[in-house]
Structures are given as structure tokens and as C-alpha cells.
Amino acid sequence: MSQETKNCIFCRIIQRTEPASIVYEDDSCIVIMDIQPVNSGHLLVIPKKHIPYLDDSKNDIGEYMFKIGIKMASALKSSDVKCEGVNYLMADGEAAGQEVFHAHLHVFPRFKSDGFGFRFPERYYEMPERKSLDDIASKIKSSIK
């Protein structure tokens, strides 16, 4: 293990030097229970390769993580775990709320009045002009590789 992966909780879990409740594993991904669940049944889909951010990966791991996430959501819904809906949440970068810098997709059960929610900034309630949306769309479009 490199120093980077030695210091990474997810790499240690993948190497079995740290305990975890494993739900699923294949050649590319592992799925474990989050130790601080939003709701019971909160899962983390983690690529086995140490990739800090999704766009660092030179492969399709993001697509594959989502595919496994959907498989886990189906399992949650057909299990005895309370689950009326599912959130797929990916924090990519510290400003986005990422705390462990080894990419991971949160998949967690939701149900009415579970107390979880998103907090929106004030500007969210003032919808921008079409021109502003078009200008931003154009900036993003020209950066697509």
C-alpha cells in the first residue's frame, strides 16, 4: 500500500485492515454500510481503485458506481429495510461536502418525515432570466471534452 492508500479509510476497508459491514463486492467496487447513516440502510458504493474525484478517473468507474447504486436501491426496496424512496448522493470535492477523498456514492433510503432535507440558498427562490441560463449553458458547452 502506498502512503496515500494507507491513510485512506476506504482503501484500508478494501484491504480488510479496517472493519466494515460489507453488503456487496465485485472486481471493481465494494458496497458497505455507512457508519453514520442518514437513515437505516445507508450504503456507500466505493471503487476499489483509490480515485479521489470522479473526473480523475480515466475509465468509466462513475457509470459503473451508479449501476451498482441502482442495484443496491432495488435490494433496499425489496428488503425489510424501511424505504419509500432513495437518494443517490455524490459529494465530489471538499466544497461539495466530500469528507473522505476516495470517491464514493451514497445510496440511502428515504421515507416521508424522515427529517432529512436539502437547504437551499436564498437566491434559489429567484429564478434567473433565460439570457443568464443561456450564457452559462454556452460557457459549459464550450468546455465539454
The reply to whether 104 belongs to the active site is yes
In the sheet that holds 105-110, the strands lie side by side as 22-25, 29-33, 43-47, 105-110, 85-90
The correct pick among 30, 42, 44, 50 for binding Zn ion (CB under 5 A) is 50
The correct pick among 13, 72, 102, 107 for binding Zn ion (CB under 5 A) is 102
In the complex, the smallest distance separating the C-beta of residue 56 from Zn ion, rounded to whole angstroms, is 12
> If binding is defined by CB under 5 A, does position 8 make contact with Zn ion?
yes
Residue of 71, 89, 83 lying closest to 41 (CA atoms): 83
In the complex, the smallest distance separating the C-beta of residue 48 from Zn ion, rounded to whole angstroms, is 9
Stretch of residues binding Zn ion (CB under 5 A), selected from 8-16, 25-33, 37-45, 84-92: 8-16
- Interatomic CA distance for residues 103 and 63, integer angstroms: 13
CA angle 82, 45, 38 (to 5 degrees): 40
> If binding is defined by CB under 5 A, does position 104 make contact with Zn ion?
no
Which segments within 59-121 are labelled E, that is strand? 85-90, 105-110
**Catalytic-labelled residue, pool 50, 102, 104, 106:** 104
Give the catalytic positions in this structure: 104
